[in-house]
Structure 1
Amino acid sequence: MKKMSKFSAVYLTVVFFILYAPIFYLIFYSFNSGGTMYQFEGFTLEWYKELFQDSRLLIIVLNTIIIALLSATISTIIGVAGALAIAYSKKRRVKNTLLSLNNVLIVSPDVIIGASFLILFTIIGIKLGFISVLISHIAFCVPIVVLMVLPKIEEMSPTMIYAALDLGASRWDVLSKVVLPYITPGIFAGFFMALTYSLDDFAVTFFVTGNGFTTLSVEIYSLARRGVSLNINALSTLLFIFTMILVIGYYYISKRNRPSGMEVRK
C-alpha cells in the first residue's frame, strides 16, 4: 500500500508538472524586458503597461466578461429548470431521453457546434456579433449546468417535499423554500463552470463572431498568428489569474454551504 501511495504521489506530481510548467513558463517570460521567450534579460512591467494602454483590447476584455456573465446567468436559470424537469419527470423513458439529449451536447465536438450555429444564424438572418456569440455560449453552457445541478436534486430526500406539502406549503413555497436552498451548492457550481467555459471558449466563438466584435480567446489566437509577442504572455497571465480567482471563489462558497447541507440531512 505504501509503494502504491508513493507511486500515486509521483505520478500526480509528474502530471501536474506537465500541465502547469508551460503556464508558469509563459507567466515568467511576461516579465522579460528582452522582448523574447528565449533569454530572460531582466524584470519589467512594460508588457502589462502596454496591455492596459490598448483601448481596443480593454473593450475586448469587457466584451468577454459581459458575454461570460450573461451566458452563465441565463444558462444557470435554464439549466436549473431543465434539471428539475429531468429529475421530476414521471416517465422514465422521457427522463432518460432528455438526459441523453443533454449529454450529447456535452460530448459533441466544439467545431461541429460552432459550424452548426454558423449555418443556423446565416439561414435565419442573425448578424454575427454579440447576439450570436451570446446565444451560442448559452447553448453549450446549459448542459453543463444541468449536470452540476441534477445530482443535488437526486440527492435530496422526497420526504422533505412531502413534509412541506403536508404542512400546507404551496408548490411555489416548496420550490423556493425547500428545493432551491438545498440545491444552492449545485447552482453555484453550475454558474462558475458555465462562467469558466464561456471565458475560455475558442472553437465555437471563432465560428460565430463577426466583424467589430470578438472575445479574448479569439483575439489571443489572432495575436499569436502574427508572431510571438510578450503582450500575449501578459494577457494570458491575467486571464489565468482571473480563472484561478473564480476557482478559489467557488471552493470557498461550496465549503461554506457544505455544513448546512449536512444539517439538513440530519
Structure 2
Amino acid sequence: MKSKRKLSNIYLVIIFIILYAPIFYLMFYSFNSGETMHNFKGFTLDWYKEVFQDTRLIIIVINTIIIALLSAAISTILGVAGALAISYVKRRQTKNTLLTLNNVLIVSPDVIIGASFLILFTIVGIKLGFASVLLSHIAFSVPIVVIMVLPKLQEMSSTLIDAARDLGASHWQVLTKVILPFITPGIFAGFFMALTYSLDDFSVTFFVTGNGFSTLSVEIYSRARQGISLSINALSTLIFLFTIVLVIGYYFINQRNNRPSGLGVKK
C-alpha cells in the first residue's frame, strides 16, 4: 500500500510539473531585462511598467473585467433558475433530456459555438462588440452554473421544504429562506466558474468581437502574432495571479459557508 501511495504521489508531482512548468517559465522571463526568452540578462520590472503605461491595454482590461462580472452575475441568476426548473421536473426522461441539452453546450467545441453565435448575430442584426461578447459569454456560462448548482439541490432533503410549508411558509419564503441558503455554496461555485471561463475564453470571443472592442485573450493573441514581446509575459503573469486570487477567494468563501454554525437559543 505504501509503495502504491508513493507511486501515486510521484505521478501527481510529475503531472503538476508538466502543467505548471511552462507557466513558471513564462513568468520567470517576464522579469528579464533582455528582449528574448532564451538568455536571462538581469532582473527588471520594465515590462510591467510598459503594461501599466499602455492606455489601450488598460481599457481592454477594464472591458474584460466588466464582461466577466456581468456575464457571471447574469448567468448565475439564469443558471440557478434553470437548475431549479430541472430539479422540479418529475418525469425522469424529460429531466435527462434537459440535462443532455445542457451538457451538450459544455462539451461542444468552442469553434462551433463561436461560429454559431457569429451567424446568429449577423442574421439578427446585432452589431459585433460589447453586446455580442456579453451575450455569448452568458450563453456558454449558464450550463456551467446549472452543473454546479444541481448537485446541491439533489443533496437537499425534501423534508426541509415540507417542514417549511407545514409552518406556513409561502413559495417565495421557501425559495429565499430554505432553498437558496442551502445551495449557496453551489451558487458561489457557479459564479466563480463562470467568471474564470469568461476571463479565459478566446475561441468564442474571437468570433464575436468587432472593430474597436477586444478582450485580453484576443489582445494577447493579436500581440503574439506580431512577434515575441516580454510585455506579453508580464500581462499573462498578471492574469495568472489574478486567477489565483479568485480561486483563493472562492476557497475561503466555500470554507466559511461549509463551516457548521452553532445553534443558539434566543431568550
TM-score when scaled to structure 1? 0.97
Q: Is the 8 A contact 1:121 1:128 kept in 2?
A: yes
Q: Distance in 2 between matches of 1:84 and 1:34?
A: 55
Deviation at 1:260, TM superposition (A): 3.7
1:157-199 CA distance string (max 9 Å, x none): 0000000000000000000000000000000000000000000
Deviation at 1:97, TM superposition (A): 1.1
Aligned to 1:183: 183
Q: Distance in 1 between matches of 2:9 and 2:233?
A: 31
Query: Quick one: which amino acid aligns to residue 60 of structure 1?
Result: I
Aligned to 2:221: 221
Q: Give % identity.
A: 76
Aligned to 1:155: 155
Deviation at 1:262, TM superposition (A): 11
Q: Distance in 2 between matches of 1:195 and 1:259?
A: 24
Aligned to 1:75: 75
Aligned to 2:195: 195
Q: Distance in 2 between matches of 1:28 and 1:106?
A: 34
Please say if 1:7 is aligned against 2:10.
no
Q: Is the 8 A contact 1:128 1:210 kept in 2?
A: yes
The count of corresponding residues between Structure 1 and Structure 2 is 263
Q: Secondary structure at the match of 2:259?
A: helix
1:27-55 CA distance string (max 9 Å, x none): 01000001211101111000000111100
Deviation at 1:95, TM superposition (A): 1.1
Please say if 1:119 is aligned against 2:148.
no
Q: Is the 8 A contact 1:89 1:95 kept in 2?
A: yes
Query: Quick one: which amino acid aligns to residue 39 of structure 1?
Result: N
Aligned to 2:205: 205
Aligned to 1:59: 59
Q: Secondary structure at the match of 2:37?
A: coil
1:100-126 CA distance string (max 9 Å, x none): 100010110000000000000011111
Q: Secondary structure at the match of 1:37?
A: coil
Please say if 1:230 is aligned against 2:230.
yes
Q: Distance in 1 between matches of 2:184 and 2:258?
A: 10
Aligned to 1:136: 136
- Unpaired stretches in structure 1, ≥5 consecutive residues: none
Q: Distance in 2 between matches of 1:233 and 1:81?
A: 40
Q: Distance in 1 between matches of 2:116 and 2:5?
A: 46
Q: Secondary structure at the match of 2:165?
A: helix
Root-mean-square deviation (CA, aligned residues, Å) is 1.1
Query: Quick one: which amino acid aligns to residue 106 of structure 1?
Result: I
Which stretch shows the higher mean deviation, 219-228 or 84-93?
84-93
262 and 226 in structure 1: CA distance in 2 versus 1, 3 angstrom threshold: farther
Q: Distance in 2 between matches of 1:231 and 1:152?
A: 43
Q: Distance in 2 between matches of 1:193 and 1:260?
A: 24
Q: Distance in 2 between matches of 1:237 and 1:42?
A: 18
Please say if 1:248 is aligned against 2:251.
no
Aligned to 1:97: 97
Q: Distance in 2 between matches of 1:96 and 1:23?
A: 39
Q: Is the 8 A contact 1:80 1:146 kept in 2?
A: yes
TM-score when scaled to structure 2? 0.97
Q: Distance in 1 between matches of 2:81 and 2:93?
A: 19
